[in-house]
Amino acid sequence: MPAYWVARSKVNDPVEYKKYTDLVPGIIAKYGGKVLARGGRFQIMEGPDKFHRFIVIEFPTFEQGVACFKSPEYDKAAAFRRSGAGEVETMTGRTADGRIETVRVVPDGSPVANYGFDVTPARLITGLITERGVIAASREALARAFPERAGAAE
């Protein structure tokens, strides 16, 4: 039964993130993974506007998804993504006089990261919320909803 990486991210350092995205496709493929959705148009329907990139990757099995994430080659690539995380290093809020400020909440040089990844068994995902509505969580439904992208992740 398939399983999915469902990731959300905010790219704070495009140069570091590009190093990550250059390495990851081959690693994912090695474990049988296929990108179903990445980047593109989105709309935050509820909650904070914290993340600006959403990714869904399908693996043939839950075990293959976990093995990919725990693999030495993925860990090495993910270091580029993690180095630009930023979200857990800073906090943004309103001051007493109404100004919005961002402050660093950890000492300089502290090793921090915001992974934002889940590996979810397919049986627990019934639909995906997209700019074209809620669609069934299947390759076929994604192809029908986004015919212009059908086969793009193959």
59-106 confidence digits (pLDDT tens) = 888 888 889 988 999 989 888 877 654 444 555 566 678 777 666 656
Predicted confidence at residue 154, as pLDDT, reads: 52
Residue 65: in which H helix or E strand, if any? Answer: helix 62-70
- Residue linked to tokens 């990731």: 7
Q: Are 119 and 4 in contact (CB under 8 A)?
A: yes
Measured between alpha carbons, how far is 13 from 153 in angstroms, rounded to an integer? 24
pTM assigned to the model? 0.57
Domains of the chain: 3-149 (3.30.70.100)
Predicted confidence at residue 30, as pLDDT, reads: 96
Nearest to 47 by CA among 129, 137, 115, 123: 129
pLDDT, tens digit, 9 for 90 and up, residues 110-127: 665 555 555 667 777 888
